[in-house]
């Protein structure tokens, strides 16, 4: 069933985007866990959630790498930096600076230029 789903390029790219989205959630989970005392139930819970997400990500990434070149897959990983930036603002109410926005713009531009080279 999974081979049939991954037989279409758009599904592979969709899976890559879902995997990167999920992977970007590990940073907020680990930061939330860090707000609890070491080895407390809250700490362990958030750490376990992060490990589960990374396990899901690893399986997805292996499936993706079987179907598309490594360089093509890794171009999507730039999205992770943008998402972590958004999670920091939305979840932790961290301030956004113009330098951060410039950095995100450079990453986005790099992804657009590199991805447009694929077509």
Residue carrying the six token digits 């899901």: 56
**pLDDT average per 10 residues of sequence, the chain (119 residues):** 72 85 92 94 96 93 84 78 89 91 88 71
Q: Which domain holds residue 28?
A: 2-116
Q: Are 73 and 14 in contact (CB under 8 A)?
A: no
Number of domains comprising the chain: 1
Q: Phi and psi dihedrals of 38, rounded to 5?
A: -55, 130
* pLDDT value of residue 117: 62
The residues, any chain, with a CB within 8 Å of residue 75's CB and separated by 6 or more, are: 111, 114, 115, 118
Distance CA 26, CA 30 (A): 6
**pTM > 0.85:** no
The DSSP H or E segment spanning 115 is helix 98-116
């Amino acid at each position: 069933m999974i081979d049939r789903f991954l037989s279409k390029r758009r599904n592979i790219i969709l899976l890559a985007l879902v995997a990167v989205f999920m992977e970007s959630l590990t940073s907020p989970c680990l930061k939330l866990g860090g707000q609890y005392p070491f080895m407390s139930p809250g700490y362990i819970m958030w750490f376990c959630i992060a490990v589960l997400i990374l396990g899901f990500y690893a399986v997805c990434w292996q499936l993706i790498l079987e179907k598309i070149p490594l360089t093509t897959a890794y171009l999507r990983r730039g999205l992770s930096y943008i998402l972590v930036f958004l999670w920091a603002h939305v979840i932790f109410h961290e301030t956004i600076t113009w330098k951060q926005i410039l950095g995100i713009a450079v990453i986005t531009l790099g992804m657009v230029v590199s991805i447009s080279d694929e077509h």
